[in-house]
Amino acid sequence: MSAYPTRKIEDWRWSDLSGLDALAAGHANDALPDLSRYWIDLDGPRLVFADGRFVEALSDRRGLTVTAVRSAPGHPLGDVAAAKATTGLWLTRTANTPAIGPIQIVHVASGGASHLSSRIELARDAHAEIVETHVGAGWSNVTATVALAEGARLMRTIRVLKTGGAHTDFTLATVAQAASYTSAALVTGADSARLEARIKLDGTGAFAEADGVMLSRGEQNLDSFTRVQHAAPGGSSRQVWRSVADDRSTASVAGRVEVARDAQKTDAEQSVKALLLARTATANAKPELEIFADDVKCAHGATVGELNRDALFYLQSRGVDPAAAKALLTRAFIADALDRIGDETVREAVTADAIAWLEAK
């Protein structure tokens, strides 16, 4: 019996971890899929991990350190990753280290359980960009601890393009004064996925943005939980999530903003919207605010809706067939989140992944 959290715990009420033990008992498939389609046209290091192992032969490390990071983040699944992982990325950058370009990671979890535990440490004014792509039909369980020093900037993109199985992902980040943490996620594949991030803004004027798009169909159960803790004054945070659920699938997004008593002049915004493509699909949207300071600007909004029938008819009356009309409107819906990806090449690649999902129906 596993000791994973159950749905009885509020923060896990939309997660489905029931299949993890069975997945972990499965076996890896030694044949690696063709990875070429997962690489984005960016000049930078490329790291391949397969079933929890680093594959040097398929990687272009460019001097990066690959090793298991043993610090437990204090999270039921993240701690499992930290305890069991035999590898991961250990990235340390300073403002003076020569630029290496965006780092791409492709992680293939073909079967069984694959754990990765990573650490990203950016010293004062350092910056880094990382694109993580998770594929395969096994269980990938990854965790990352992120420490951004004053003025450091990290841009992260997480793509879950699995063909089944499960993906669980936990990030613990601390963001110092005037530092910036941004992440964008696209979750399509995986029978079940849980993306979680706990981001603490503990320096004046720190910035965090955690956006995502979740696309579910069939019986998929996808959920995300982002918790942003404003612990210092003048910080700002953004959470923009768009989910689309079809068939009998469930897509759930929870976002929490916590503003400590000292975190005056906090500016926090949450926008969580879901689109149901079928009456049998389920979407949950839960933005939460917990404010102990009195001089803050916090905005949040959540909607769950269907495609606008008038707009669908309008497109059809102009010659667009129903499937294409649906895809066009759905694409417009998720663009709110995807358009926030700062790196244009990455944004286009992630948008192409989302369109491929829309057109796969």
Partner 1 sequence: MLQINDLHATVGGKTILNGLTLTVNAGEVHAIMGPNGAGKSTLSYVLAGRAGYEVTGGSVTFDGHDLLALAPHQRAAAGLFLGLQYPVEIPGVSNLAFLRTALNAQRKQRGEAEASGAEFMKLVKVEAEGFGLSMDMLKRPVNVGFSGGEKKRNEMVQMAVLAPKLAVLDETDSGLDIDALRVVSDGINRLRSPERATLLITHYQRLLDYVVPDRVHVLVAGRIERSGGPELAHELEREGYVRQAA
Among 313, 352, 356, 359, binds partner 1 (CB under 8 A): 313
Among 32, 58, 100, 335, binds partner 1 (CB under 8 A): 335
User: SS3 for 237?
Assistant: strand
Question: Is residue 318 a contact residue for partner 1 (CB under 8 A)?
Answer: yes
The total number of residues shown for the chain amounts to 361
What is the distance between the alpha carbons of residues 361 and 135, in angstroms, rounded to a whole number? Answer: 20
Tell me the sheet residues that pair with 212. Answer: 185, 241
Among 58, 72, 324, 355, binds partner 1 (CB under 8 A): 324
Among 79, 320, 340, 347, binds partner 1 (CB under 8 A): 320
What is the distance between the alpha carbons of residues 247 and 142, in angstroms, rounded to a whole number? Answer: 28
Range list of H helices, the chain: 20-24, 76-84, 309-317, 322-338, 344-359
Angle at 332 between CA 331 and CA 336, to 5 degrees: 110
Contact segment (CB under 8 A) with partner 1 among 37-45, 246-254, 273-281, 329-337 equals 329-337
Question: Is residue 328 a contact residue for partner 1 (CB under 8 A)?
Answer: yes
Indicate the residue among 93 and 273 with the shorter CB distance to partner 1.
273
Contact segment (CB under 8 A) with partner 1 among 30-38, 229-237, 289-297, 319-327 equals 319-327
**Are residues 227 and 200 in contact, defined by beta-carbon separation less than 8 angstroms?**
no
Q: How far is CA 218 from the centre of its chain?
A: 21
Indicate the residue among 289 and 328 with the shorter CB distance to partner 1.
328
Question: Is residue 289 a contact residue for partner 1 (CB under 8 A)?
Answer: no
What is the distance between the alpha carbons of residues 320 and 313, in angstroms, rounded to a whole number? Answer: 9
**Are residues 144 and 120 in contact, defined by beta-carbon separation less than 8 angstroms?**
yes
- Beta-carbon contacts of residue 261 (< 8 Å; ≥ 6 apart): 292, 293
Contact segment (CB under 8 A) with partner 1 among 18-26, 62-70, 85-93, 306-314 equals 306-314
Q: What tokens appear for 165 in the block?
A: 């199985």
Which letter does DSSP use for residue 211 in this model?
Answer: E
Angle at 103 between CA 97 and CA 109, to 5 degrees: 140
What is the distance between the alpha carbons of residues 167 and 159, in angstroms, rounded to a whole number? Answer: 11
Kindly write out the interface string for residues 53-92 of this chain, putting x where it contacts partner 1 by CB under 8 A and - elsewhere. ----------------------------------------
Contact segment (CB under 8 A) with partner 1 among 102-110, 153-161, 176-184, 304-312 equals 304-312
Cβ 131 to partner 1, closest distance in Å? 25
**Are residues 183 and 211 in contact, defined by beta-carbon separation less than 8 angstroms?**
yes
Indicate the residue among 55 and 335 with the shorter CB distance to partner 1.
335
Indicate the residue among 332 and 352 with the shorter CB distance to partner 1.
332
Among 333, 346, 350, 353, binds partner 1 (CB under 8 A): 333
Q: Which amino acid is at 186?
A: L
Among 31, 36, 294, 319, binds partner 1 (CB under 8 A): 319
What is the distance between the alpha carbons of residues 352 and 337, in angstroms, rounded to a whole number? Answer: 14
Cβ 318 to partner 1, closest distance in Å? 4
Indicate the residue among 8 and 318 with the shorter CB distance to partner 1.
318
Question: Is residue 279 a contact residue for partner 1 (CB under 8 A)?
Answer: no
Indicate the residue among 316 and 345 with the shorter CB distance to partner 1.
316
Which parts of this chain interact with partner 1 (CB under 8 A)?
A: 308-311, 313-322, 324-325, 328-329, 331-333, 335-336
